[in-house]
Structure 1
Amino acid sequence: MRATLPETFQSQVQYIQPSPKFEQQPDGTIQPAAFPGYTVITPPWADDSQNGAVYTHLHQYQQQILDKLEPNLLIPVPAESFHFTLADLIWASAFDHAQEDPAFEERLNDCVAESFLKSEASVQGEKPIYWQIIGLFLRTRALGVCLVPREQDSYDRVIQLRRTLYQNSDLIALGVEQQYNFTAHITLGYFSEATNGADGDRLSKALIELNNQWLESDEMHDVGLYRAELRKFDDMTRYYREPDWATLEF
């Protein structure tokens, strides 16, 4: 996958920017900025009893990244929030507009539940869905790991769920944008203001060395997808739901 090639890190480090999803306070501390929205994800690690081993490994890897990079360059997300994003739904200005409707959340949940029900026949199966972590994933404002499906069936079932959600006309009417580009990833942290003075050569070298851990490992690190849930977030550190919100078992 091109995202994990050394030349990709070398070319992309020059474009990294501080993420607006975290803000430096007057006392110097970094706090998450308000960034509310709704998404369909697997249960975060705090609520996931199936992926403990791989998330423990990711947490250790996250700490290695922090130790390797220049101090305060990366703002780590809480490990208990680690998750696999299946379909982002609504955020930013679209979220603000949606809040003008007091019944929006209930309508959104009903629409997602409808899509879950409609997709059951094509996304549920006897075989588990596994996506394998293959390397580090550098984005303009964030750092994570990217994943690929272990087999075609795992890919097809995720894509079918996304298609059912994004083609739901009632969801579109609520402001959900259709998104057909999909790069499976788990975010580990966001870049801080310190990126403005970062040494690009040093950073790309560190990222290549960190990425080599995945390339040189003989061990498979799979994330199992067992359940899809509608979740809400107020910022990039916590994803929560009400007990009666829509869920789908794979």
Structure 2
Amino acid sequence: MDGNYQSYINRVVQMTAPINYEQQIKNIQSSPKFSGQKPVNFPGYTIITPPHGESNHNQEFYKKLAHTQRQLVEGLGADFFVALPADSFHITLADLIWDDIYLNAVKDKPNFDQLLISKIENIFKDYKTVYKESKPFEFDVLGISIFPRAIAVCLAPTEKFYESIIKLRQLIYQDEEIVDLGIEQNYEFAAHVTLGYFGDVSDDFDYHKVQSVVTEINDQWLENSPSNFIVEQFELRKFTDMTNFIRQDDWAMMKLY
């Protein structure tokens, strides 16, 4: 499903181009992951960078993200745009399983969690034999994108690092035991940090206001943003909702330094 590097750049640049905001805004809808300002139960597993609250890296980047997030809340309203806790900011490298699919998998296999944790550990070991040059991934900031249920800042790795990420995803999604656990690839890779989700979206919300606010903030972001984001580590995490990502010390982790 993941294309080559040039197709990635073309796709994500288009996602962040203000000229496309008008069309993106027409597709927005309330996220089921929040009820008012509170996250709803939404359990599952994912492969992500350490959340901002647990990382000592990219502090300037995260500081700018938090400022941008506050601007969005002020411009769009806290009911319309529900901000995530800044401590939860992260980049997802591979979605695994979530919500009802995860809950049903646990019902079918009471030891599902242990099986998944063990299998991801083995995949990380295999990845280390392929990715022998241990060097942090570098991402360039492209701008703000409006997703159907969220607003995020999108990024692009160099071609070399993109290929390394796609290799990891292939090892996961093409593994027979992973497939047998009910895990499959649902999305093309798009490196992003989610800033918040759409909450109370009425049928008559002001399209032009949303477009104006996001465009102005995007222009400010690109003028003043840190030049890049460094991924020095990624790991298996379990989430209970979209604000809480947890892990045990012995779960799979890949250090790139």
What are structure 1's unaligned runs of at least 5 residues?
25-29
Instruction: Describe how 1:198-217 pairs up with structure 2 within 5 A.
Output: 198-217=205-224
Q: Is 1:8 aligned with 2:8? A: no
> Is the Cα–Cα contact under 8 Å of residues 231 and 239 in structure 1 kept in the other structure?
yes
Q: Which residue of 2 aligns with 1:140?
A: 148
Q: Deviations over 1:188-223 (max 9, x none)?
A: 000011444420011111111111123434x54322
Q: Which residue of 2 aligns with 1:116?
A: 124
- The total of aligned residue pairs comes to 243
RMSD over aligned Cα, in angstroms? 1.6
Q: Percent identity?
A: 37
Aligned match for 2:246, one of 237, 240, 247: 240
> Is the Cα–Cα contact under 8 Å of residues 37 and 95 in structure 1 kept in the other structure?
yes
Q: Which residue of 2 aligns with 1:69?
A: 76
Q: Is 1:191 aligned with 2:203? A: no
Instruction: Describe how 1:115-194 pairs up with structure 2 within 5 A.
Output: 115-149=123-157, 151-179=158-186, 181-194=188-201
What are structure 2's unaligned runs of at least 5 residues?
1-12
Displacement of 1:92: 2.0
Displacement of 1:134: 1.4
TM-score by length of 2: 0.89
> Is the Cα–Cα contact under 8 Å of residues 172 and 178 in structure 1 kept in the other structure?
no
TM-score by length of 1: 0.92
User: Could you tell me how far apart the structure 1 residues matched to 2:92 and 2:194 are?
Assistant: 10
Q: Which residue of 2 aligns with 1:27?
A: none
User: Could you tell me how far apart the structure 1 residues matched to 2:121 and 2:134 are?
Assistant: 22
With 232-241 and 187-196 compared, the bigger mean Cα shift is at 187-196
Q: Which residue of 1 aligns with 2:100?
A: 93
Displacement of 1:63: 0.8
Displacement of 1:128: 2.1
> Is the Cα–Cα contact under 8 Å of residues 124 and 157 in structure 1 kept in the other structure?
no
Q: Is 1:37 aligned with 2:50? A: no
